[in-house]
Amino acid sequence: MEFTFLGTSSGTPTKRRNVSGLALHAKMSKHWYMIDCGEATQHQLLSTKYSVSNLKAIFITHIHGDHCYGLPGILASASMAGREAPLTIVAPQGVIDMIKAVRETTQLWLDYELIYIAVELQTQPLCFDDFTVEPVELSHRVPCFGYNFVESNVEQRLDQQKLKACGIKRGPHWGLLQRGKDVITGEGQTLLANDFLQTPRPPRAIFVAGDNDTPSLLNTASVKPDVVIHEATYTEDIAQKVGKGPQHSYARIVAEYAQDAGIKHLILTHFSARYGYDINQSPSILDIENEAKKHYKGNSFLANDFDSFELNKKGVLFLNSSH
């Protein structure tokens, strides 16, 4: 599965970073999923392979504008591009109310159905073709959620040793069982496919967090993620100057959470615009990286716009491409 950052800046865009947005693709079908949709996310999409016609669902973490002001534009463009398939929006109720109000007041008529799912009302994980998605409530100034995307379709393998031990010879029965079909043998014996199929690996999981000042809340997810994508808006020194008001994270507390939780891959994003690229100036983005690496010994990255990552079936994460 792969994912591409569409925006990595907090609050306001910069010349090199747009506000929050992420495209997630399980690569099992043409469908992909969007998490957060800050202003101009649809412009960012134009520089990727993703199209609004294959977008299956949009997940919004919270109502702050840098995470959802891109919604009306992208919904309108999808309709103008001829979309007819329903589109699901999973979001806090306030975001749903905003979309409904914009549609009403700007006469935004869509040629497809919007399916609204208010995330705070969900008590069970949400099932999609490619993912089972577990929302986790986070700690921010407004209701805010992270989403743990657990892959749905792990390939299954025939347990050949068990088949042989049961005296079932290689042949058409094996093929049927492999395809998940139960079989009745010539001797009248019923073979249940589930008894002979095994999954060779656990499902992969990617946790995409929203804004959050308490990273350890991610530990409440029922499946441990292979990859955590979390905001690190500040370094610790700046966070202390800013004070607790914004309720954001800084590199050290995210790194410590990931280290303690044994997370294999950590990607930081949503950086304050004050962190520039020039490492000779202070503060710079290198300060965030250094602080994170000091407290986290796993595989860590600082996201850039259009960075595309691949998580392979062995659970290894690598940067596929960047602009």
Residues of this chain that bind Zn ion (CB under 5 A): 10, 66, 211
**Residue placing its CB nearer to Zn ion in the complex, 25 or 230:** 230
Measured at the CA of 237, the angle between CA 232 and CA 242, to 5 degrees, comes to 75
Coil, strand or helix at 320: strand
From 211, 152, 176, select the one nearest 26 (Cα to Cα).
Answer: 152
Report how far apart, in Å, the C-alpha atoms of 26 and of each of 31, 36, 100, 150, 180 are. Answer: 8, 17, 30, 10, 22
Q: Which residues of 281-313 are buried (b: 16+ CB within 10 A; e: fewer)?
A: eeebbbbbbebbeebbebebbbbbbbbbbebee
In the complex, least distance from residue 194 CB atom to Zn ion, rounded to whole angstroms: 44
**Residue placing its CB nearer to Zn ion in the complex, 96 or 232:** 232
In the complex, least distance from residue 320 CB atom to Zn ion, rounded to whole angstroms: 25
Catalytic residue among 66, 130, 211, 226: 66
Cα separation, 274 vs 164, whole angstroms = 65
180 burial via Cβ count (<10 Å: 0-12, 13-18, 19+): exposed
Cα separation, 136 vs 303, whole angstroms = 22
Cα separation, 257 vs 241, whole angstroms = 22
DSSP secondary structure string for all residues of 43-91: HHHTTSS--GGGEEEEE---SSHHHHTTHHHHHHHHHHTT--S-EEEEE
**Residue placing its CB nearer to Zn ion in the complex, 134 or 211:** 211
**Residue placing its CB nearer to Zn ion in the complex, 68 or 227:** 68
Among this protein's residues, is 195 annotated catalytic? no
From 155, 136, 77, 63, select the one nearest 111 (Cα to Cα).
Answer: 77
Contact (CB, 8 A) for 107 and 26: no
In the complex, least distance from residue 263 CB atom to Zn ion, rounded to whole angstroms: 21
In the complex, least distance from residue 101 CB atom to Zn ion, rounded to whole angstroms: 21
Q: What is the CA radius of gyration of the chain?
A: 22
In the complex, least distance from residue 94 CB atom to Zn ion, rounded to whole angstroms: 15
**Residue placing its CB nearer to Zn ion in the complex, 209 or 266:** 209
In the complex, least distance from residue 38 CB atom to Zn ion, rounded to whole angstroms: 8
Point out the residues that are catalytic: 66
